[in-house]
Amino acid sequence: MSTTEFFFKYHGLGNDFIVLDCRQSGGDIDAEYSRWLCDRRRGVGADGVLSLLPSESGMARMVVHNADGSVAEMCGNGLRCAVKYLVDHSGEKPEHIDVETGAGLLSCAPGYGQDGVAEVEVSMGPARLVASNLPSGASGQPFVGAPVPGHSGLRGYAVNMGNPHLVLLDQPLEDAGRLGPELERHPGFPDRTNVEFVRVDKDGLTVVVWERGCGLTQACGTGACAAAVAAVLAKRLPADAWLRVTLPGGDLRIRVPSDLSDVRLRGPVSFVFTGVVPDLPGR
């Protein structure tokens, strides 16, 4: 058994991830190892760890480990990082690849530059307004432009993009660090939630995300999708058009169909560096 593990560091608009290719061993990491890897002083440093495991239906199965050791169902920026790793190390230039995630099998279209994959367009699947990890799971009714219980003056949109989101339109962006930690653990969201603080502009959105299990991040792909869905539902921006969503780390493009059936995300991805760390005991 080897005593070291190769890792690869990537980022999507500053939302950074450690990629571990576990397809040969088939073994995943645990919460303690994830927390250590993500520690920016004692480990490698990242917002999350992406474990790539064997898949019968896709090129790999991606498991998203948050910086706090919890596991997320899906991550749009992380998926683009995983696609760049998988394609750049395949020796081929496919037009599409499928990756298995906690939100299902997702189709991804790489865009190529001088250094391999430069951007990725992802078919994110449907935006769901009724789901077990949203307030609608208990009520059966979509939480759309509704008052947030326990928070006077706040109205939100609960959107499932494979993972849960609470979108606050017209909420000051600077409130993210103050309100985010409490809203992440709002009792209406049984698995906790990501929280989007959104300013609606004439030509798009400006968004700050408090990410479940990570805190404030430079970007969040599923959060950008959820924010765009809320803006379309509120009739503040048009459906079936590529919308600009500006996050602290840069811009993503999101397309929300009028029936919410298949939200599309397009954005850049970059390789940072590679290295070795101690192997997970027992692997």
The residues, any chain, with a CB within 8 Å of residue 202's CB and separated by 6 or more, are none
Q: Are 38 and 45 in contact (CB under 8 A)?
A: yes
Nearest Cα neighbor of 62 from 44, 81, 45, 46 is: 81
Query: How close are the terminal C-alpha atoms of the chain, in Å?
Result: 8
User: Dihedral through CA 57, CA 115, CA 39, CA 65, nearest 10?
Assistant: -10
Cα–Cα distance for residue pair 147/281, rounded to 1 Å? 48
**Active site residue ranges:** 75, 220
